[in-house]
Amino acid sequence: MKVPPANNTLVLASASPRRLDLLRQIGIDPAGIDPADLDETPLRDELPAQHAARLAAEKAAAVAPRHAGSFVLAADTVVACGRRILPKAETEQQARACLNLLSGRRHRVYGGVTLVLPDGRTLDRVVQTAVTFKVLSLEETEDYIASSEWQGKAGGYAIQGRAAALVRWIGGSYSNVVGLPLFEVSNMLRGVGFVPASSSPVPT
């Protein structure tokens, strides 16, 4: 599926600095950032993969009408133990509860991605990564809480920071755990004829 390369403007529908950094890592500098302000509460009986897919699609749908003729990329990251969706930790109590649950266990990280094309068509992907934490001692848990890296992070941890020392094994996309599955996103963009522009970088 190809689109005419007349407009290769990409808008990132996310305020996440991690997602912006990841895109720049593969040579894509969005022309704009326009986050969607949505209620991210899971629906009743909604499975983690469904939750990630729905939020990515809703973010894209909210932002795309404001950028007619552009590519719009939206994403959502969900950390889950079985069917249980872990929160984006906002308090020490939430972060501690997440770490205690993840300690010594394998969990899954679901990355939902939606790409809206300039002609209005959409592409959707859900990427799954398995992650196993070591058994955390009380000291390790409290040291991580003290770092404040958990603030606003799905599952109460940031794998690109100090939590890397807590991860015993990972299966699948590392960048998906950080916030954006780069292999899949790159293939989606390439598959529809998107070529990164060399100008109009997003301001920092």
Whether 76 sits among the annotated catalytic residues: the reply is yes
31 token code pair? 């022309």
Structure tokens at 4: 């005419």
| Matching residue, tokens 């603030």 | 151
Options 21, 34, 76, 119, the catalytic residue? 76
- The alpha-helical segments, DSSP class H, found in the chain are 17-25, 48-63, 92-102, 138-147, 174-178, 182-191
**Residue carrying the six token digits 């190809």:** 2
Question: Tokens 């005419």 sit at which residue?
Answer: 4
Distance CA 128, CA 111 (A): 6
Residue located via tokens 């529908």? 13
As a three-state string, the secondary structure of 45-79 is CCCHHHHHHHHHHHHHHHHHHHCCCCEEEEEEEEE
Contact between 143 and 166 under an 8 Å Cβ cutoff? The reply is: no
Catalytic residues: 76
